[in-house]
Amino acid sequence: MAMMCFIVPLLLAMLAEADEECLEMDVRMLQHSAFVSIETQLASESEAARKSLENCGHLIQDACDPNANAPCSNNCRIHTHGHDCYRPVPEVMAEHPGEDGFCYFNYTGFWVDPLGDNPDYVQSASHAILAIRGSYYEGFKKGPLITFNFEGKAITTYMDAMHYSYDDLYGYSLGYLQGQGLEPSLLQNNTEWISVSKAKCDQIQNTYKFQNEELVLADWLDYNQVIATKVACSAKLQPYLMSKSVLAAARYKSIDDCDPVTARDFAKHHYIKCLLGYPNSAADAAYLLARACLLEMGTHIGHFSECPYSPDVDF
Ligand SMILES: *[C@@H]1O[C@H](CO)[C@@H](O)[C@H](O)[C@H]1NC(C)=O
Ligand SMILES: *[C@@H]1O[C@H](CO)[C@@H](O)[C@H](O)[C@H]1NC(C)=O
């Protein structure tokens, strides 16, 4: 799930208040409550689903690699398939026909969480919305109103949780918000939704023509925080506790001297999920479509009851 990528700013916000030694535990608790529950839910749906999650890659130790640029964001050095993290994803996947990339690279980053077979995208989107929000949700339209300056346009949103800045703009950039042309009813048929996702993936690659050397898994893992920092730049927000290497990669010197995020950044982030399997990019897309919509002639992003479709979660 793209979903998977958004929790990091939220983790980092939490870390600002957490003791060092609590860090690992908090991160693990969050992961447990958030992602394991989604996986369990989906995996329990059928025997087939469980079978497809046998023999996934996994960590070779209990804790995430502390050298990653953010908590649990790059476990390649301690992963059973870690050697393949440093090669282009298209080459790796070509050697594993029919395998799911999220299973193969399971947990290289905390958001790389394999789905079972036959996913229910209405359910997975709702679960993801709740899981990623965690306890850091301020309430519907209770967060600060922020303005993105993105690709020459000004777009506002209420940042009701830390990850909203990333995910709202990510959804908008990919065209996966309600009001950008896709009917939420499509989520009800997973075959159809996966083909919608595949079409989007093809369109992304037709537009950006990413070269194999740009599509290396470890770089993708490390870049998630760089994107979060560039999003902060686009909204004139202070990035939370980013490491020096992340700030340098985002060319972040100050709130007025930094690189804004681009449509290309978001497209590449999503495209790696496409390469790891269309059911995974489809889960990302389902989450983005369910949670937000484009309003006010394309100048404001709304959520829940402001949107044509509101997922079955409290807000
Ligand atoms: C994915 O990896 C994590 C961490 O090693 C492990 O706990 C989990 O069981 C793995 N998931 C699957 C489906 O194998
Ligand atoms: C889902 O969509 C596919 C492809 O359009 C179609 O063949 C199938 O009958 C649909 N399934 C359901 C349950 O509607």
Q: Which ligand is nearest to the CA of 191?
A: 2
Residue 106 CA: nearest ligand 1 atom is 1
The answer to whether the CB of 53 is under 6 A from ligand 1 is yes
Q: Assess if residue 24 is contained within a domain.
A: yes
**Is 136 inside any structural domain?**
yes
Q: What is the tally of structural domains in the chain?
A: 1
CA of 121 to the centre of ligand 2 (A): 14
Distance 197 CA to ligand 1 centre (A): 25
In-domain check, residue 257:
yes
Q: How confident is the model at residue 54, as a pLDDT?
A: 85
71: Cβ below 6 Å to ligand 1?
A: no
Q: How many residues are listed for the chain in this entry?
A: 315
What's the 119 CA to ligand 1 centre distance in angstroms?
Answer: 18
CA 290 to chain CA centroid, Å, is 14
Question: Which of 122, 185, 190, 191 should be mutated for ligand 2, with most atoms under 8 A from CB?
Answer: 191
**Residue to mutate, 188, 189, 194, ligand 2, most ligand atoms under 8 Å from C-beta:** 189
Domain span holding position 183: 7-306
Write down the pLDDT at residue 134. 81
**315 is a domain residue:** no
User: Does some domain include residue 73?
Assistant: yes
Q: Please tell me if the CB atom of residue 64 comes closer than 6 angstroms to any atom of ligand 1.
A: no
In this structure, is residue 314 part of a structural domain?
A: no
- The answer to whether 270 and 127 are in contact (CB under 8 A) is no
At 11 the pLDDT is 43
pLDDT in tens, the chain (315 residues): 344 444 444 444 333 333 333 333 333 333 333 333 334 344 444 455 556 788 999 999 999 999 999 999 999 999 999 999 999 999 999 999 999 999 999 999 999 999 988 999 999 999 999 999 987 899 999 999 999 999 999 999 999 999 999 999 999 999 999 999 999 999 999 999 999 999 999 999 999 999 999 999 999 999 999 999 999 999 999 998 788 999 999 999 999 999 999 999 999 999 999 999 999 999 999 999 999 999 999 999 999 999 999 999 999
Instruction: Confirm whether 299 is domain-assigned.
Output: yes
Q: Is residue 283 situated within a structural domain?
A: yes
Q: Determine contact, residues 81/105, Cβ cutoff 8 Å.
A: yes
pLDDT at 33: 36
Ligand 1 probe mutation, 39, 42, 58, most atoms within 8 A of CB: 58
Ligand with smallest separation from the Cα of 120: 2
